[in-house]
Chain A
Amino acid sequence: MAVISPPELDPELDRAPRRIAMRQRLGRWDVKLSPYLYVSPFFIVFAIVGLFPLAYTAYVSLHKWHLIGGKGAFVGFENYAYVLAQPNFWIGLRNTFSIFLLSSVPQVIIALVLAVVLNNNIRAKTFWRMGVLLPYVVAPVAVALIFSKMFADSPTGLINTLLGTVGIDAIRWHAGVLSSHVAIATMVDFRWTGYNTLILLAAMQAVPSDLYEAAVLDGANRFRQFISITVPMLRPTIIFVVITSTIGGLQIFDEARMFDQTGQGGADRQWMTVTMYIYELGWGAQKSFGRAAAVAWILFLIILLIGLMNFWFTQRIASSGTTAGKKKKR
């Protein structure tokens, strides 16, 4: 970094040496501070809407705190101990991971396949590309309402009727653990697959076409091109998609809450997720913000942990990866 340019000769400067020093100092600060100030809006906004709520939640979680009554006594980690001792918390955790895996794995695979198809030279390209994003625009509550009708328990429900035509007995979607998770995962996929498809598609178009040309000359077929060029080149994007859908998946709320009328995740908590448990503790029968905040923090730590695992995993892939990995390592 260059030091400031020498001050221009100015008669005024000679007469007021103190002011020169001031200006010079200002100038030096300018060079040193300005870059930080230019990037500071993000950090200030982040501190207000991200960091502060995080810290405040931690503060709340150490107190007895009633939704309407407000702050009570300081209780230390009692809220955490309470939450960890509740079977419902662990059920919620199980459900969250189960729904997340059931939705994210097919989602990324389908999105990848769809992106490849859309990347081809098909007729009415824009129409199809915008089409996959359409479900994402639909409000999650509307999606949940429609899907909970489709997944009605009675044999007359839409999905059950379809299953009936191929000779499968009606499935009680709201009663079973796995069946309810599948139904909710379907809703999640319906909304998010198109969104991820477009991200992958965008990355796909950045793959240099000479790679494909070379592959074609070498006699590689479509499938081989996909495995050996597209997927490796997309690796960073796929990782991005996986990480965002992990965060989203662990925070799933709308779809599961709207799956039945009472919104508690089933009488046996078949599909109650961790975020729903937070809601139940804070706004449900107990109205205990302290306990809800404790769960929120535990969830935050879990997401952080998984984020770190993702990061570690990514590093491994990047170092052993082909083109994309090498590019990243520089």
Chain B
Amino acid sequence: MRKTTSKAWALTAGVASIALLASACGSSDESGDDASGSSDEKITLTVATFNEFGYEDLIKEYTELNPNITVEQKKAATSNEARDNMNTRLAAGSGLSDIEAIEVDWLPELMQFPDKFVDLTDDSIADRWLDWKVAQATTEDGTLIGYGTDIGPEGVCYRSDLFAAAGLPTDRAEVATLLGGDDATWEKYFEVGKQFKAAGTPTAWFDSAGATYQGMINQVENAYEDSDGTIIAADNAEVSDLYSQVLTASTTDGLSAGLKQWEDPWVASFQNNGFATMLCPGWMLGVIEGNAEGVTGWDIADVFPGGGGNWGGSFLTVPAQGEHPEEAMALANWLTAPEQQIKAFVSKGTFPSQVDALESQDLLSVTNAFYNDAPTGEILANRANAVSVTPFKGPNYFAINDAMQQALTRVDVDKTDDPDSSWAKFLTDVKALG
């Protein structure tokens, strides 16, 4: 009898332990219900950014102002990486930072799900940003998803030493005039490129067809989608014109260095005279400076082909899944205030989107030693004021532009396709989105 009892016990224990094992997987941790604590509570806020936001010193400053709040920054190397992270964790419903930086190009995808974010509407800061910057992050029913950080007004960066070697003017005002001044066009930009080539220099005129195209497409109001969201990319003559224009300049005229931005050869080319000019939004200034360390001759001209252009720019959002939404909102508010954005600009060249910042002497007086002491603050403020078109970006913008960039890369970088066959593949890619 004793034997059987012990066996029965063993059996029961076995069943119980298996049941425990099975149920252990189903239990969820209930941590973090002490979120609504007082402001004295010590909390940690995380801020996820990508590339360079210039927040390192600001975060230190904020911690000094608010001793009970520790701020940690998580930096992703590229915006694609940040976007993947964002999407995955939004879908999972947890794991995002308290503040997530997002780029304007993938903002439209997220605008479809405003309930995943804290509504940041706040009357006291309504007039802080340029109107179009706020409009980009506001849904139809008036929910503000993100606070604007930087914008990307574009100028033309160039190598004055290579210009001199090719017999072109080197002074930044003269270069601006050379490229057409206020009436600068893309034809003129490519024209001067041919002139540069004709002088017998082995260097390419611009770095990448994809990057140059990006500058052009940012001046088209409805490139890929009608304002109601209908995809028109395949039939839009404006898009195919820009496509062939930039590829003619790249391949037929040989103006492109055939590089893909951010890839190793592109980064390396800064050190070995890969190209003479590139389009440079504010945030690119820091990138060039980093890649071209030790190279002298970089300068920036207060001019942009085809009128003003804005490339990129970001927002700070507060995902609804965070534990400390109010504190996070306060931090995002503080980080995007004009004073702080000017400091970020000085640190990494991320150009402010705040009205007050654009008129501030602190900004206008900024010069950059790397660019031959160019008054970068003033130049980029001028460039920002020259922006007249705000491209419409619907839910499919990112995907279609991505397909277009690949189409350009196939011809310009990989040389696996000619412009026609690559265009055909682009059409297939656009169709596949349906």
Which positions in A face B, CB cutoff 8 Å? Answer: 7-8, 10, 12-13, 23, 26-27, 29-30, 33-34, 37-38, 40-41, 44-45, 48, 67-69, 86-88, 148-149, 152-154, 156-157, 172, 174-176, 260-264, 266-268, 270, 283-287
CA of A40 to CA of B25, assembled, Å: 16
Chain B residues 66-86 with CB under 8 Å of chain A are 78, 80, 84
Partner of A68, one of B116, B398, B409: B116
| B401 nearest in chain A by CB position | A285
Candidates B1, B22, B403; contact of A12 at CB < 8 Å: B1
B1 touches A7 (CB 8 A): yes
- A30 & B416 in contact (Cβ 8 Å cutoff): no
Query: With the chains together, A25 CA to B396 CA distance in Å?
Result: 66
16 contacts between A and B (CB under 8 A): A26-B7, A26-B8, A30-B8, A38-B14, A41-B18, A44-B22, A87-B428, A152-B265, A174-B414, A175-B413, A261-B262, A262-B262, A267-B407, A283-B87, A285-B396, A285-B433
Report A-chain residues with C-beta under 8 Å of the C-beta of B398: 285
Complex alpha-carbon distance, A157 and B269, angstroms:
12
Question: In the complex, are the beta carbons of A10 and B433 less than 8 A apart?
Answer: no
How far is it, in angstroms, between the C-alpha of A73 and the C-alpha of B112 when the chains are bound? Answer: 18
Q: Is the CB of B1 within 8 A of A37?
A: no
Min CB distance, B402 to chain A, in Å? Answer: 6
B399 within 8 A of A: yes
B119 interface residue, CB < 8 Å from A?
no
B84 touches A283 (CB 8 A): yes
Q: Which residue of A lies closest to B398 (CB)?
A: A285
Beta-carbon contact of B264 and A264 below 8 Å: no
For the complex of A and B, list the 5 residue pairs with the smallest distance between their C-beta atoms, beginning with the closest: A285-B399, A267-B409, A175-B414, A267-B406, A154-B265
Contact B414 A261 (CB under 8 A): no
B11 within 8 A of A: yes
Report how far A325 CA is from B88 CA in the complex, Å.
48
Whether A68 touches B90, Cβ cut-off 8 Å, given contacts A48-B25, A261-B263, is: yes
> Which one, B21, B116, B260, contacts A41 given CB within 8 A?
B21
Q: Which residue of B lies closest to A4 (CB)?
A: B4
Contact B18 A69 (CB under 8 A): no
Partner of B1, one of A13, A260, A286: A13
Closest Cβ of chain B to A266, distance in Å, is 7
Is B295 located at the chain interface by the 8 A CB criterion?
no
A48 CA to B80 CA in the complex, in Å?
A: 32
Q: Tell yes or no: B330 within 8 A of A by CB.
A: no
Instruction: Render B20-50 as a binary contact track against A, CB cut-off 8 A, 1 for contact.
Output: 0110010000000000000000000000000
B369 interface residue, CB < 8 Å from A?
no
Which residues, 105 to 126 on B, are CB-close (under 8 Å) to A?
109-110, 112-113, 116
B15: interface (CB < 8 Å): yes
A152 touches B264 (CB 8 A): yes
Chain B stretch 234-288: residues in CB contact (< 8 A) with chain A: 260, 262-265, 268-269, 272
B417 and A154 contacting across the interface, CB-CB below 8 Å:
no
Taken together as a complex, chains A and B put the C-alpha atoms of A33 and B265 apart, in Å, by 65
Are A69's CB and B113's CB within 8 A?
A: yes
Determine if B18 and A37 form an interchain contact, defined as CB atoms under 8 angstroms apart: yes
In the bound assembly, the distance between CA atoms of A288 and B277 in angstroms comes to 40
Give the interface of B toward A (CB within 8 A).
1, 4, 7-8, 11, 14-15, 18, 21-22, 25, 78, 80, 84, 87-88, 90-91, 109-110, 112-113, 116, 260, 262-265, 268-269, 272, 396, 398-399, 402-403, 405-407, 409-410, 413-417, 425, 428, 432-433
Besides A67-B87, A68-B90, 12 other A-B contacts (C-beta < 8 A): A7-B1, A23-B4, A44-B22, A68-B110, A152-B265, A152-B268, A156-B272, A261-B262, A264-B406, A268-B414, A268-B417, A283-B88
Q: What are the residues of chain B within 8 A of A152 when measuring CB–CB?
A: 264-265, 268
Query: A10–B1 contact, CB under 8 A?
Result: yes
Residue of A nearest to B85 (CB): A283
Whether A37 pairs with B15 at a CB distance below 8 angstroms is yes
A86→B432 contact, CB < 8 A: yes
User: Which residues of B have CB within 8 Å of A13?
Assistant: 1
Task: Determine the chain B residues whose CB is within 8 A of the CB of A23 once the complex forms.
Answer: 1, 4, 8
- In the complex, the answer to whether A48 meets B22 with C-beta atoms within 8 Å is yes
On whether the beta carbons of A260 and B263 are closer than 8 Å, the reply is: yes
**A residues in contact with B405, CB < 8 Å:** 267
Cβ contacts under 8 Å, A268 to chain B: 406, 410, 414, 416-417, 425
Bound complex: CA A287 to CA B7 (Å): 54
For the complex, give the distance between the alpha carbons of A311 and B405 in Å.
Answer: 45
- Residues of the A chain whose Cβ atoms lie less than 8 Å from the Cβ of B415: 175
- Contact A40–B78 (Cβ < 8 Å): no
List chain B residues, Cβ under 8 A from A87: 428
Q: How far is the CA of A266 from the CA of B405 in the complex (A)?
A: 11
Q: Which residue of B lies closest to A37 (CB)?
A: B14
Q: Which residues of A contact B433 (CB under 8 A)?
A: 285-286
Q: Are A44 and B14 in contact (CB under 8 A)?
A: no
Determine how close the nearest CB of chain A comes to the CB of B350; give it in whole angstroms: 20
- In angstroms, Cα B402 to Cα A274, docked, is 19
Hey, which chain B residues are within 8 Å of A40, CB to CB? Answer: 18
Alpha-carbon gap, A263 to B425, bound state (A)? 19
Which B residues are in CB contact (< 8 Å) with A270? 414, 416
Minimum CB–CB distance for B393 against chain A, Å: 13
B413→A267 contact, CB < 8 A: yes
Given the interface contacts A7-B1, A154-B265, A174-B414, does A34 sit within 8 Å of B109 by beta carbon? no
- CB-CB under 8 A from B399, the residues of chain A are 284-286
Q: With A and B bound together, what is the CA distance between A29 and B4 in angstroms?
A: 11
Give Cα distance in the complex from A174 to B258, angstroms.
13
Contacts of A174 in B (CB 8 A): 263, 414
Smallest beta-carbon distance B224→chain A, Å: 12
**Cα distance A26–B88 when bound, in Å?**
50
Are A88 and B21 neighbours in the complex by a CB distance under 8 Å?
no
With a cutoff of 8 Å between Cβ atoms, the chain B residues found around residue A34 in the complex are 11, 14
Residue from the list B15, B21, B265, B414 in contact with A267, Cβ < 8 A: B414
Chain B residue with the shortest CB-CB distance to A29: B11
A264 — nearest CB in chain B belongs to which residue? B406
> CA separation between A264 and B402, bound complex, in Å?
10
A29 CB contacts on chain B under 8 angstroms:
11
A67 neighbours in B (Cβ, 8 Å): 87-88, 90-91
Q: How far is the CA of A152 from the CA of B267 in the complex (A)?
A: 11
Q: Chain B contacts of A153 at CB under 8 A?
A: 263-265
Residues of B close to A45: CB separation below 8 A: 21
Chain B residues with CB under 8 A of A38:
14
Tell me the smallest distance from the CB of A52 to a CB of chain B, in Å.
Answer: 10
- In the bound complex, residues from chain A placing their C-beta under 8 Å from that of B22 are 44, 48
Please, which residues of chain B bring their CB within 8 A of the CB of A266? 414
